[in-house]
Amino acid sequence: MASLVTKVKLYLEANSKTEQELLNDNVVLQNDGSGDDIRDWNVSGVAKPTNSQLNSYETAGNTLESNNNVRNTRRLAYGDIGDQLDEIFKDIDAWKARIQAIKDSNPKS
C-alpha cells in the first residue's frame, strides 16, 4: 500500500507543484493513531485532495515506492563510484557484466 506521502507527492506533481510544498510545511501530515491524514493544506492554487483523489494514486504510488527501493538496492550494490571507475579502467567487460547482473536481479516495475 502506497504511503500518504507518496500519494500527496503524486497529487502535487499532477497539479504542477513539487514535493517542495511538503518540505516548506505547506502540507502537514499526521497520524493520530487511526491512520495517516492531512492535518494542514496551504498549497496555493491547489485544493486539498479528497480521499478518493488520493486513492487514485495507489497503483502509481506502489510503483514509485517499489522503483525507489530497487534504486536504493542497486546503488548499494554498485559500490563507490571511484571503485567503479577503477574497475572500468581495468576491465570494462567485467564491470558491464557485474552491473547487468545487479540490474537483472533488481528489476524495476
The ranges assigned to domains in the chain are 4-105
C-alpha–C-alpha distance, residues 26 and 21, integer Å: 5
pTM of the model: 0.80
What pLDDT was estimated at residue 32?
84
Per-residue confidence band for 109, with pLDDT thresholds at 50, 70 and 90? confident
C-alpha–C-alpha distance, residues 41 and 100, integer Å: 43
C-alpha–C-alpha distance, residues 72 and 13, integer Å: 22
What pLDDT was estimated at residue 20?
93
Question: Of 103, 96, 100, nearest to 73 (Cα)?
Answer: 103
What pLDDT was estimated at residue 22?
87
